[in-house]
């Protein structure tokens, strides 16, 4: 089936609204919360209430991470533009405003995507409206997420969790955390499951917050679990340990979240490109999209090359989300989108600082902030190197044991 390169018409109002919110509500407080690291952006409460209202009225199909869901229904044509596509498009717009603030939006956490991806219908209903962070990383476990040491032991009707999770985005502010833990370390990756833990559960505590290079509006927490008991119904998906399925259960989350992180990078890079084009124009450099780059100034040629990189990342993002909407396996495409967008997002934002010189480097504009913010998008939810490894395995048909 040919790919349609135009944005779906039905999402134009949603994208327009997200752009207005980014411009009028996020941009004006962007610098304030970059400086006031760890201060709660209270302005977002009103915004979250508005988004809830839109979702309830059906006016918004997936305004954020919480909208992501593999739809089971077939459409008449067999092809649909659904919640995943709506989410990446609106998230990109919101990140044109501010990535750190998007990551701080109540009820739009990456844990919400995990719930949406893996939960059964009863759990979906029970956890509707929560704000969930996602806790995978541990002091000894980053890229190698199969190495998780946090344990979950069944005791009567409850699982007892023990372990330490670090770098949990929204870990302090979210009201629930989706925790990855192993049911049995001797059984390897197949025994890793995710558990929804409500804040305030005895045995769970936020230990500290990190100071960071970028996305300073977003809180990043260390969370300790000591004999923390959750009902056994809070395990997401199946409690069976199926070595054939391997890591697939919990990992399915990444197929939905990686396109979202790609969208964040696409939005942040777009912001840098738009401002740089204006600043270049003020300095007398116009970028002509209809003339070959080598006939234009060096600055314009560099700008056109960045536009091409941006477009490639944008299209890969759309493809990965569209495949999720249409229930096509998209692990390869999700990693391709994240790898491309993560890398060019960093390259573009830093190159925009370079093109704008001292104005780019100074706090008078947001360019230097976007260069700091975008770096994390090439690190979390799987680093650049890990995405390339996953892509290589898929393309070459090799297992994780065969290509490490």
Ligand X SMILES: Cc1cc2nc3c(=O)[nH]c(=O)nc-3n(C[C@H](O)[C@H](O)[C@H](O)COP(=O)(O)OP(=O)(O)OC[C@H]3O[C@@H](n4cnc5c(N)ncnc54)[C@H](O)[C@@H]3O)c2cc1C
Query: Residue 265 — φ and ψ, nearest 5°?
Result: -65, -40
Q: Count Cβ atoms within 10 A of the Cβ of residue 257 and give its class: 0-12 exposed, 13-18 middle, 19 or more buried.
A: buried
Q: What is the DSSP letter of 141?
A: B
Shortest approach of ligand X to residue 376 CB, angstroms?
5
* In contact, 37 and 212? CB cutoff 8 Å: yes
Interface region with ligand X, contact rule CB under 6 A, candidates 88-96, 195-203, 335-343, 382-390: 382-390
134 belongs to the binding site for ligand X (CB under 6 A): yes
Distance between CA atoms of residues 114 and 360, nearest Å = 37
Q: Which one of 168, 181, 190, 250 is in contact with ligand X (CB under 6 A)?
A: 168
Site for ligand X in 51-110 (CB under 6 A): 110
Nearer to ligand X, 215 or 366 (CB): 215
Q: Which one of 131, 167, 254, 322 is in contact with ligand X (CB under 6 A)?
A: 167
In this structure, is the dihedral angle defined by the CA atoms of residues 6, 278, 351 and 378, taken in order, positive or negative? negative
Shortest approach of ligand X to residue 101 CB, angstroms?
14
389 belongs to the binding site for ligand X (CB under 6 A): yes
CA distances from 369 to 76, 213, 365 (A): 46, 9, 8
Site for ligand X in 189-228 (CB under 6 A): 212, 215, 220
Distance between CA atoms of residues 77 and 338, nearest Å = 29
385 belongs to the binding site for ligand X (CB under 6 A): yes
Interface region with ligand X, contact rule CB under 6 A, candidates 16-24, 37-45, 78-86, 161-169: 161-169
386 belongs to the binding site for ligand X (CB under 6 A): yes
135 belongs to the binding site for ligand X (CB under 6 A): yes
- Find the helix packing angle between 367-375 and 248-282, rounded to 10°: 160
Nearer to ligand X, 142 or 188 (CB): 142
Distance between CA atoms of residues 398 and 328, nearest Å = 20
Q: Which residues in this chain contact ligand X in the complex, by CB under 6 A?
A: 110, 133-137, 142-143, 167-169, 212, 215, 220, 376, 379-380, 383, 385-386, 389, 404
């Amino acid at each position: 089936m040919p790919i349609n390169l135009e944005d779906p018409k039905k999402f134009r109002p949603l994208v327009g609204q997200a752009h207005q919110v980014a411009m009028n509500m996020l941009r004006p407080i962007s610098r304030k919360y970059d400086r006031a690291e760890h201060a709660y952006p209270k302005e977002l409460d009103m915004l979250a209430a508005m988004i809830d209202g839109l979702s309830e009225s059906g006016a918004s199909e997936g305004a954020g991470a919480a909208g992501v869901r593999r739809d089971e229904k077939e459409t008449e044509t067999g092809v649909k533009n659904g919640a995943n596509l709506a989410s990446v498009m609106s998230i990109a717009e919101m990140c044109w405003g501010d990535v750190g603030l998007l990551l701080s939006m109540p009820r739009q956490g990456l844990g919400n995507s995990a719930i949406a991806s893996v939960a059964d219908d009863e759990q979906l209903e029970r956890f509707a409206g929560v704000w969930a962070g996602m806790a995978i990383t541990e002091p000894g476990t980053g890229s190698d997420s199969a190495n998780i040491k946090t344990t979950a032991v069944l005791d009567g009707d409850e699982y007892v969790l023990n372990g330490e999770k670090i770098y949990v985005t929204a870990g302090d502010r979210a009201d629930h955390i989706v925790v990855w833990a192993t049911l049995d370390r001797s059984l390897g990756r197949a025994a890793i499951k995710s558990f929804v833990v409500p804040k305030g559960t005895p045995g769970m505590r936020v230990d500290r917050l990190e100071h960071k290079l970028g996305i300073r509006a977003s809180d990043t927490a260390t969370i300790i679990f000591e004999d923390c008991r959750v009902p056994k119904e809070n395990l997401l998906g199946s409690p069976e340990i199926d070595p054939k399925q391997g890591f697939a259960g919990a990992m399915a989350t990444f197929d939905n979240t990686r396109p979202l992180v790609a969208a964040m990078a696409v939005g942040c890079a777009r912001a840098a490109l738009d401002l740089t084009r204006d600043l270049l124009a003020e300095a007398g450099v116009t970028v002509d999209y209809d003339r070959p780059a080598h006939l234009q100034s060096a600055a314009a040629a560099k700008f056109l090359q960045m536009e091409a990189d941006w477009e490639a990342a944008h299209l890969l993002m759309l493809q990965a989300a569209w495949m999720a909407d249409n229930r096509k396996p998209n692990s390869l495409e999700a990693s391709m989108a994240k790898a491309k967008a993560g890398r060019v997002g960093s390259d573009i934002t830093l190159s925009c600082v370079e093109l704008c010189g001292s104005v780019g480097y100074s706090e008078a504009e947001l360019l230097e902030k976007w260069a700091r913010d975008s770096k994390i998008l090439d690190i979390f939810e799987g680093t650049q190197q890990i995405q390339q490894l996953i892509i290589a395995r898929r393309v070459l048909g090799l297992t994780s044991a065969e290509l490490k």
